[in-house]
Amino acid sequence: MTELPDWAEWRPGSEYTLGLEEEVMLLNPHDWSLAQQMDRVLPLLSSQLSAHVTAETHRSALELNTGVHPTAGEATSEMLELRRTLEDELSPLGLRCASAATHPFTVWHETVLSTGPRYDLVSGSMRELARREPTFALHVHVGVPDPEQGIQLVNRMRAHLPLLLALSVNSPFWQGRDTGLASARTPLFQAFPRVGIPRAFGDYEDWVETVALLIRCEAFPDPTFLWWDVRPQPRFGTVEVRILDAQMTVTETAALTALVQCIARLETQEGVASEQLVRKREVLEENRFIAARDGMSGEFIDPDEECRKGAGELLEELLDACRPHAQDLGCEAELEPIPSMARATGASRQLEMARGPARLPGLVSRLADAFGHEGLVEVEQTLRDPRAERP
């Protein structure tokens, strides 16, 4: 490979270490609307917390960032502490926070953009698209010591993205309406350029040359403006999985983090992903849409057998393959909630909570109450199939 540009230099690190980023919504507790107050909040945070908080494109959102950890348990323990500290520091400011992939009833004209060079650039290039309602995601970084290993993991992780999305779906509402989708965040964010599932790359040099051309032609200033569902992050020495909806509780974040870590080790050591899926981007894109629409009730296209397979069946197969890796990675306990999450996704639980007398404001109140607590959010009624009657 020719000499790499600075942004492509791979930072060496430990294999399968983890770092998390959670996008969080700021709330006005008097009516549970989004609070457009990030510019006010950031200077008032303690130095301990502010080291783990960054602004987002919209003033109603912030991002919590953990350090680097060897296990899912340690990474999410830090995230739980960050969530609780944020709650404590927002309380004197008259604000609350919550985690879900969309705010259930905000509308575009209430959106206020953040200021600063990066967000001015996003606003200038995205124009009215930047004023869409904010969406909120969970990003999982997995350490990979070698760039060639990293790009091959990106290629193979693509095959698992639709199932990861189906398990994480947590955004059925948009602008006060039931969208009929399990993850409304997915098509909303799709309005931005450079999103979705990237193509497979021949090697790391192929990726570098592709990105370098776009940077030289001033499409964007650096690779962080590639908002793909999975991407290499050379400055951290990681592969970053970005397709996941933000989760209500840290328990769910921990389960998804552990699963991503296990898949990374599984693919690196065994390479189990279907070669047909890895090559056929059109099938991946269709399965991604099915996941966003139907969540874990979806049936995905299997290009090897030329049939449809239920997400639940595929998840069972994946968990079986991951179990030996979970033992070696020390994340068996974090994976335990996965079957419960598959039976009752965040989207289906949101729909059930919205049936209460307070409707959507009541749902946001419940999300805020769950923010700093462990355990899956329970609802009073028996959860229905998410394809059945909706409120």
Mean pLDDT across the stretch 124-129? 54
* Eight-class DSSP state of 163: H
* Eight-class DSSP state of 159: G
Interhelix angle 147-157/204-216, nearest 10 degrees: 90
In the CATH scheme, what is the code of domain 6-370?
Answer: 3.30.590.20
CA angle 28, 29, 34 (to 5 degrees): 30
Weakest-pLDDT range from 17-21, 191-195, 341-345, 356-360: 191-195
More confident residue, 100 or 116: 100
Residue 324 structure tokens: 């030996």
- In the block, residue with structure tokens 């592709």: 210
Among residues 136, 144, 167, which one has the least CA distance to residue 297? Answer: 167
Residue 196's pLDDT band, with cuts at 50, 70 and 90, is very high
Q: What is the pLDDT of residues 227-266, one digit of tens each?
A: 999 999 999 999 999 999 999 999 999 999 999 999 999 9
Q: Where are the beta strands (DSSP E) in 107-213?
A: 137-143, 173-174, 177-178, 195-196
- In the block, residue with structure tokens 């230099």: 9
More confident residue, 388 or 279: 279
* Confidence at residue 391, expressed as pLDDT on a 0 to 100 scale: 46
CB distance 314 to 300 below 8 Å: yes
Q: Say if residue 388's pLDDT is above 80.
A: no
| pTM score of the predicted model | 0.93
Q: Give the containing element (helix H, strand E) for 125.
A: helix 117-126
Weakest-pLDDT range from 4-18, 48-62, 115-129, 325-339: 115-129
Q: How does 147-167 read in b/e, with b if 16+ C-beta sit within 10 Å?
A: beebbbbbbbbbbbbbbbbbb
Those residues whose C-beta lies under 8 Å from the C-beta of residue 243, and which sit 6 or more positions away, are: 137, 161, 164, 165, 168, 186, 229, 230, 288
CB distance 303 to 287 below 8 Å: no
CB distance 192 to 242 below 8 Å: no
- In the block, residue with structure tokens 């969540």: 295
Strand duo 195-196 + 227-228: pairing: parallel
Give the distance between the most distant pair of CA atoms in the chain. 63
* The residue type at 344: A
* Confidence at residue 10, expressed as pLDDT on a 0 to 100 scale: 96
